[in-house]
Structure 1
Amino acid sequence: MKIRKPRQAARAARARLRKGAEVRLAALCMGIAFAPSGWAQSQDQQPSATPSATPSTGAAPDSTLPAIHVQGSAPTGYGPLVETDRVNDPQQRVSASKTGTKLEDLPANVQVIPRQLVNEQGGTTLHDAIQNASGVNYGGQDSKGYYDHFLIRGLNAQVYEDGFSDGDELSGITHSLNGVERVEVIEGPGSALFGSGPPGGTLNLVHYTPSPDLHYGTSIQAGSYGTVTNTDYITGPTGIAGLNYRVDATFSRTDGFRDLAGRDYEVRPDLQWQLGNHTLEFSLDLRDIHQTPDSYGILYFHGSPLSSVSRDAKFSTPFAFARETYVRPELTDKWRINDFLTINNRFSYLHRSLDALTNGDSTSTMVSNGEVVGRQLRQQDDSDNSFDYQFEPVWKFATGSVGHTLLTGFEYQHQVIDTDRATADLPNIPDAFNPVPPETSADQLAFLCDAKHSCDNDHLVANYYSVYATDQIDVTDRLKLRAGVRQDWWDTSLTPNISVPGRFGTNGQPLLAGVTDSRNDAPVSWNIGALYKLLPWMSPYFGISKSHFANFNSENTQNGIGAPESALQYEVGVKFSLLNDRVILNTALFDVKRDNVAALQTINGVESVVFDSQKTKGAEVSVDAALTSRWHVTANFTAQDPQITDNPQGITSVGNRPQGAPAYIGNLWSTYDFSIAGVPGFHVGAGVNYVAKTYSDITNVNSIPSYVIANAAFGYETPHWGIDVNVDNLFDRRYFVAANAAGAFVGESLSAFVNLHANF
């Protein structure tokens, strides 16, 4: 799913916009299927690189500038307008901040990954996008191979969509980019703004909104592993005054690298109605996702993945499958009462179901005497139903010469998770160096539920109540302050439907069928920060964040509902905007500590939950440079030292690294536009991705090696259509993208994809 914007018109627009020192660098949005519907304008009348604040943004509606037309250009599909393609554009407004604050005014390392950049890299998923933000990598606890798990600064991160949580944090979904305009990355604890959340940070997917002008487009991409992806969109007026619509659809199929086949069917209709001072929006996100789990990957042998087997070797069950359905209606009302007050009412309902047969990921699965032993298969049937209501008045006022954007809010979330799981023993694979899994049908297997066979049949309920406030303060044109506080009341409970030997609740008593185990917690989260524009091109900042995370999910119930996790982060950094924003450089130092972290560990052959403490110290830098009107470079690098600082149940792990957290991460991407025989519209791109060694669990016995892979792109654009070729893993490097407990996920081999797209 790769839809690209005509690049020559975009570069020409950039050159014109650079003529004024106060005009920010931007790129003309010539999106085939992905462009916003508005053009935001700040209070000082400087153009912003983002669309007008959507209902997910706390800012008051901005006035709309006239559409910008470029001679010879095609319509963008969402109205002719200017859109940034830069990760760190200082004028970009971040909807996840809920105060409509620009990047240059936030005292934190917040990065925005635009869809245009992901498209030119050939990306189709959130997994593809994250390489453009510093400190983010794929993997971590419970990465089963069929949903997204990410770490930020070596700690767990959570995915949100338009400001709403994706539900069960340890049993998620794979995210396509269907209708997604940009990905916002907020690094570090965010509980003061979002409520219960892991300390690594937040990935917020922001969708496009409907346009008042009729546009439509399509894209088809085909390539290696029998992969075909089709994306389509249409947007325009309904004929009712102020009511516009948009529909995004994605249909894809793949035979899969290592024969891990998959199907993805998604459609997302969206209606937006401007009714007086109200902006009403209703969207319905529907997904049907089929994937082939491979939690084993390549098994470890003497501490690292087997090197003597082909990267196509399979140790997992041949008939493993995972099917997920996802239904999410969202209804929002942005009511602009006056210049002083805007009230956001936002409601989301999420239903997600999972039906899966997948291999258990445990260190008990290993190579012993040439055989693969300790293999198991989990039968799983889960459902997650969540309601989320947010009432957020946003106040804009001044105290003397000091300006305030004060977000106040109340949020209520109700989550119900039902799980039904059992485990079957699998026969050994006789030859680990030429693996052929013997099982051919689930009918041959006996699924059990006891102390040696991970299982549950649980009903989990959570009610989260919150009141909160965040003030973005403009003390002067140079000094910006931000402070937030949130009081939460959490009521979480677990009611087993069956009694399983070896399970104990929060009070140390056995978990018995029909007996509810519950917790009531009332944590307070907060953050403070300050940024000072020392020079027009340099802004140092600092921030401190305290957060809490409810240990409430479908994976860590062996010991009932655990006490909440807490985290504290210190961050200092400097933001640079050089040469009229042509070169943007962000640097940060961070120190994050987290306590009462739930971690899975196999003890005496039984999967158990242990609670430890962790910390990460590190530094990161990101660069976004328009070296010329044709040459654009983005790069980031992170150095970090994640460690286990306390583990009462395993003191030997103190000083070790957490699962999946590398010491170094680096990414580089560069594109160049050119003409051939006087014909413009050609472009070429290249980049590298680097991730250091990572460990499979807190014992640090097994690990995967570091890797560097190279990618390349070439394409041609006309005003109405284009064609692109992307080549990944250019030198066909054998590498591993994540370290699971039993084995390592294998990175894709040399692959190529061709994308043909058009818009009108």
Structure 2
Amino acid sequence: MSIRNARSAARLACACVRDAADVRLAALCMGIAFAQSGWAQSQEQAPSVAPSATPSATSSGATLPDATLPAIHVQGSAPTGYGPLVETDRVNDPRQRAASSKTGTRLEDLPASVQVIPRQLVNEQGGTMLRDAITNASGVNYGGQDSKGYYDHFLIRGLNAQVYEDGFSDGDELSGISHSLNGVERVEVVEGPGSALFGSGPPGGTLNIVHYTPSPDLHYGGSVQAGSFGTVTNTAYITGPTGISGLNYRIDGTFSRTDGFRDLASRDYEVRPELQWQLGKHTIQFSLDLRDIHETPDSYGIIYFHGSPLSTVSRDAKFSTPFATAKQTYVRPTISDQWRVNDILTINNRFSYLHRSLDALTNGDSTSTKISDGEVVGRQLRQQDDSDNSFDYQLEPVWKFATGSVGHTLLTGFEYQHQTIDTERTTADLPNIPDAFNPVPPETSLGQLAFLCDAKHSCDNDNLVANYYSVYATDQIDVTDKLKVRAGVRQDWWDTSLTPNISVPGRFGTNGQPLLAGVTDSRNDAPVSWNIGALYKLLPWMSPYFGISKSHFANFNSENTQNGIGAPESALQYEVGVKFSLLNERLILNTALFDVKRDNVAALQTVNGVESVVFDSQKTRGAEASIDAALTSHWHVIANFTAQDPVITDNPQGIASVGNRPQGAPAYIGNLWSTYDFSIDGIPGFHVGAGVNYVAKTYSDITNVNSIPSYVITNAAFGYEASRWGIDLNVHNLFDRRYYVAANAAGAFVGESLSAVVNVHANF
């Protein structure tokens, strides 16, 4: 059923207790009343520090308002959000407290564009991966540099974005992983430079994945989702008390496998146990994230011909090698201690260690691979073995105090990160595909191939080491009930180095000298990042805001080492917007205008058949809007639209590209999703949903020679939810449109054809 607000539900529960005809019904009503009282308590005792380390009445950590909340589904004690108690599927709940703010600030008080995507909404849409969730936030699209199909790469406002998990970076964003939703409660999208909080990070913004925390009450459940292309995804969780006072646990597991659209098979095994111990004034959490991921890269997709993907071959046509594979292991233990010293001071100690390995055979993605005289020429296969080890320590005292009538939540912090990357790569030439219009890759075994390392064959054998030291402060200031100000500054000291184990012709260091085996190429940088913004509640339903932010990003990764370690990127963003909360919060509308400038951007480019790194500058101006509306108590609509103008503003190594668009950055993005709840023969719990996704034309590199066309696809859903179980049918690409989700250098990554999945889930 749906509830319109906490107070009316509590009154209804009390009446229900009075009128209950049997003990079981009375107990159920008492449970509802208890849940509502828990919400009320969480409102009165809202945490003053980052909720990412704070247990709360709901698994989301959100403080729910007294005003009407549309589209909140009560489905027994454990809904399909895979966590206990009641959850909301609203994207822009103004009372939500984003962990990524690190000050426990409500979205309605942040002078910035921050959007929260709840897990329940992604489940409703049939999504199982992070890339399925991002359409629910404005300004975000999949694609950009090195989108080869076996890891996530996202752009926000036309610029690279970084993925974090519970506030910890996933590391090298150009050779990342594909993120499932195992144990994930919500995804937070922070748009624009965020280095004053998160340290070295791309200027587009931050996607922070937030996991569920353990519950003191026993809950368990799971789901089985099966569908097209031999796809099966199994998830399960259990959470509850350990029997030791204050110590609770949670275990989430995911197993998935698929034969894959275009035979791009994959499988994923994940388990994530977590403990939370309430010990006096300390809340101690420990988690261990274990993943074993196998995917099939498809760097070529459909090869370009006369500037666009070849249209005369089927979507199943394969230009990539049949040997393509990518295997990754991911091990991440984290531990945190939230020490609530008193009402003024809370000290957060947080530590994460990450080990990630990659063993891949994937086609080299460069413009040298093309159609010539009816053949596909310039094909290569890269053999790659990477190991990434890093640890991250954060000490963050959070102070809650007042100066006169002005309230402050002051986050102070020290962070130390150490990262080492070992990478080894060689490249083999592949035979031409004789008929590009009826492609059959001719290679039949790896034994036929000779992996080489020279100026014409991309290769390396490197050890990269980085040490990042940071001190920072961010103050969320309640000047009055209406005026909110946020200001932050961060001083970083970066020590980055590259030591080649072999000498490769054509590679040069930061001083212009050849990179030689055993000779370390290093940089030392000390950038200062900052942000300032203000929001004013002009009317109860309208809050204009502005913000300015400056950030820096270390050009340190395993992909861009042809010219050593480059100077850091920098980014400057101006943003103004208005947040609307209308019709007693039944309609939430957020709007923003933005201007983001990005300098010293490392971009891969093929010159005379040789891959090289060029450094350019980019700028994006645009506008975006997002809507979350309860048109009735049963009808819920979520929509967003972004119009942006991303351009190359400077490129000393390629003047002709100035004025062109960056790789993968569309001019327009639009998404719509709508659901309607209804009854059949007096039986409630049925729902239907439908939505569309639109992305405009994007280019494959800064030369803008090749591009992929715009697309619109339609999705649909139908399902039934009982108190403890449910079943859903989701259909993707309802009209079977041919479309492309990423413009790579050699070809376009193909979007999935018409497909369907059925999900059966139960929660107790």
> Normalising by structure 2, what TM-score?
0.93
Amino acid at match of 2:493: W
For residues 635 and 49 of structure 2, the distance between their equivalents in structure 1, rounded to whole angstroms, comes to: 25
Amino acid at match of 1:45: E
Q: Is the 8 A contact 1:298 1:745 kept in 2?
A: yes
Match of 1:293?
297
Q: Is the 8 A contact 2:406 2:480 kept in 1?
A: yes
Residue number among 103, 106, 109 corresponding to 1:105 in the alignment? 109
> Taking structure 1 as reference, are residues 702 and 63 closer, same or farther at Cα in structure 2, changes over 3 Å only?
closer
Residue number among 409, 412, 422 corresponding to 2:413 in the alignment? 409
Match of 2:394?
390
Q: Is the 8 A contact 2:62 2:97 kept in 1?
A: no
For residues 590 and 76 of structure 2, the distance between their equivalents in structure 1, rounded to whole angstroms, comes to: 33
Q: Is the 8 A contact 1:56 1:96 kept in 2?
A: no
Residue number among 73, 76, 100 corresponding to 1:73 in the alignment? 76
- SS of the aligned residue for 1:87 comes to coil
- SS of the aligned residue for 2:134 comes to helix
Amino acid at match of 2:363: N
Match of 1:28?
none
Match of 1:31?
none
Deviation of 1:52 after TM superposition, in Å, equals: 8.9
Is 1:45 paired with 2:49? no
Query: After superposition, where does 1:100-179 map in structure 2 within 5 Å?
Result: 100-179=104-183
> Taking structure 1 as reference, are residues 630 and 407 closer, same or farther at Cα in structure 2, changes over 3 Å only?
same
- SS of the aligned residue for 1:170 comes to helix
Is 1:241 paired with 2:239? no
For residues 73 and 5 of structure 2, the distance between their equivalents in structure 1, rounded to whole angstroms, comes to: 8
Match of 1:55?
53
For residues 674 and 85 of structure 1, the distance between their equivalents in structure 2, rounded to whole angstroms, comes to: 17
Match of 1:524?
528
Match of 2:224?
220
Query: After superposition, where does 1:329-348 map in structure 2 within 5 Å?
Result: 329-348=333-352
Q: Is the 8 A contact 1:327 1:351 kept in 2?
A: yes
Q: Is the 8 A contact 1:137 1:152 kept in 2?
A: yes
Q: Is the 8 A contact 1:531 1:539 kept in 2?
A: yes
For residues 223 and 70 of structure 1, the distance between their equivalents in structure 2, rounded to whole angstroms, comes to: 26
Q: Is the 8 A contact 2:624 2:640 kept in 1?
A: yes
Deviation of 1:165 after TM superposition, in Å, equals: 0.1
Deviations 1:54-105 (A, max 9, x none): 32899xx99999xxx9999344498763422111110000001100000000
Query: After superposition, where does 1:623-634 map in structure 2 within 5 Å?
Result: 623-634=627-638
Residue number among 565, 569, 572 corresponding to 2:569 in the alignment? 565
> Taking structure 1 as reference, are residues 513 and 475 closer, same or farther at Cα in structure 2, changes over 3 Å only?
same
Q: Is the 8 A contact 2:690 2:717 kept in 1?
A: yes
Unaligned runs of 5+ in 2: 13-34, 65-71
Q: Is the 8 A contact 2:475 2:486 kept in 1?
A: yes
Residue number among 193, 204, 221 corresponding to 2:197 in the alignment? 193
Deviation of 1:10 after TM superposition, in Å, equals: 3.9
For residues 40 and 551 of structure 1, the distance between their equivalents in structure 2, rounded to whole angstroms, comes to: 45
> Taking structure 1 as reference, are residues 477 and 12 closer, same or farther at Cα in structure 2, changes over 3 Å only?
closer
Q: Is the 8 A contact 2:200 2:553 kept in 1?
A: yes
Amino acid at match of 2:253: A
Q: Is the 8 A contact 1:41 1:62 kept in 2?
A: no
For residues 74 and 384 of structure 2, the distance between their equivalents in structure 1, rounded to whole angstroms, comes to: 57
For residues 503 and 468 of structure 1, the distance between their equivalents in structure 2, rounded to whole angstroms, comes to: 36
> Taking structure 1 as reference, are residues 62 and 574 closer, same or farther at Cα in structure 2, changes over 3 Å only?
closer
Match of 1:24?
none
> Taking structure 1 as reference, are residues 70 and 689 closer, same or farther at Cα in structure 2, changes over 3 Å only?
closer
- SS of the aligned residue for 1:129 comes to helix
Match of 1:713?
717
Match of 1:578?
582
> Taking structure 1 as reference, are residues 63 and 502 closer, same or farther at Cα in structure 2, changes over 3 Å only?
closer
For residues 364 and 577 of structure 2, the distance between their equivalents in structure 1, rounded to whole angstroms, comes to: 42
Is 1:423 paired with 2:422? no
Residue number among 256, 267, 274 corresponding to 1:270 in the alignment? 274
Match of 1:25?
none
For residues 318 and 91 of structure 1, the distance between their equivalents in structure 2, rounded to whole angstroms, comes to: 50
Deviation of 1:17 after TM superposition, in Å, equals: 6.2
Amino acid at match of 1:297: G
Structure whose residues are more often helix by fraction: 2
Residue number among 709, 723, 726 corresponding to 1:722 in the alignment? 726
Q: Is the 8 A contact 1:41 1:47 kept in 2?
A: no
> Taking structure 1 as reference, are residues 335 and 659 closer, same or farther at Cα in structure 2, changes over 3 Å only?
same
Q: Is the 8 A contact 1:98 1:407 kept in 2?
A: yes
- SS of the aligned residue for 2:135 comes to helix
Match of 1:556?
560
Query: After superposition, where does 1:597-608 map in structure 2 within 5 Å?
Result: 597-608=601-612
For residues 665 and 10 of structure 2, the distance between their equivalents in structure 1, rounded to whole angstroms, comes to: 40
Q: Is the 8 A contact 1:40 1:63 kept in 2?
A: no
Match of 2:20?
none
Amino acid at match of 1:642: P
More deviation, 676-685/521-530? 676-685
Deviation of 1:631 after TM superposition, in Å, equals: 0.3
Amino acid at match of 1:435: P
Match of 2:699?
695
Is 1:506 paired with 2:504? no
Match of 1:587?
591
Q: Is the 8 A contact 1:191 1:526 kept in 2?
A: yes
> Normalising by structure 1, what TM-score?
0.93
Amino acid at match of 1:547: S
> Taking structure 1 as reference, are residues 111 and 38 closer, same or farther at Cα in structure 2, changes over 3 Å only?
farther
Q: Is the 8 A contact 2:73 2:86 kept in 1?
A: no
Match of 1:433?
437
For residues 586 and 756 of structure 1, the distance between their equivalents in structure 2, rounded to whole angstroms, comes to: 35
Deviation of 1:47 after TM superposition, in Å, equals: 7.8
Match of 2:28?
none
Unaligned runs of 5+ in 1: 1-8, 21-35
> Taking structure 1 as reference, are residues 290 and 72 closer, same or farther at Cα in structure 2, changes over 3 Å only?
closer
Residue number among 357, 362, 367 corresponding to 1:358 in the alignment? 362
> Taking structure 1 as reference, are residues 70 and 484 closer, same or farther at Cα in structure 2, changes over 3 Å only?
closer
Q: Is the 8 A contact 2:131 2:142 kept in 1?
A: yes
For residues 80 and 168 of structure 1, the distance between their equivalents in structure 2, rounded to whole angstroms, comes to: 34
Deviation of 1:422 after TM superposition, in Å, equals: 0.2
For residues 247 and 174 of structure 2, the distance between their equivalents in structure 1, rounded to whole angstroms, comes to: 38
Match of 1:253?
257
For residues 426 and 36 of structure 2, the distance between their equivalents in structure 1, rounded to whole angstroms, comes to: 48
- SS of the aligned residue for 2:463 comes to strand
Q: Is the 8 A contact 2:75 2:722 kept in 1?
A: no
> Taking structure 1 as reference, are residues 705 and 78 closer, same or farther at Cα in structure 2, changes over 3 Å only?
closer
For residues 194 and 37 of structure 1, the distance between their equivalents in structure 2, rounded to whole angstroms, comes to: 35
Amino acid at match of 1:53: P
Amino acid at match of 1:54: S
For residues 613 and 39 of structure 1, the distance between their equivalents in structure 2, rounded to whole angstroms, comes to: 51
Percent of residue pairs bearing the same amino acid type: 85
Match of 1:480?
484
Deviations 1:113-134 (A, max 9, x none): 0001111000100000000000
For residues 64 and 564 of structure 1, the distance between their equivalents in structure 2, rounded to whole angstroms, comes to: 39
Is 1:374 paired with 2:378? yes
For residues 255 and 328 of structure 1, the distance between their equivalents in structure 2, rounded to whole angstroms, comes to: 28
Match of 2:448?
444
- SS of the aligned residue for 2:723 comes to coil
For residues 670 and 551 of structure 2, the distance between their equivalents in structure 1, rounded to whole angstroms, comes to: 28
Deviations 1:627-674 (A, max 9, x none): 111000000000000000000000000000000000000000000000
Match of 2:473?
469
Q: Is the 8 A contact 1:56 1:95 kept in 2?
A: no
- SS of the aligned residue for 1:225 comes to helix
Match of 2:674?
670
For residues 70 and 551 of structure 1, the distance between their equivalents in structure 2, rounded to whole angstroms, comes to: 45
Match of 1:4?
none
For residues 178 and 658 of structure 1, the distance between their equivalents in structure 2, rounded to whole angstroms, comes to: 33
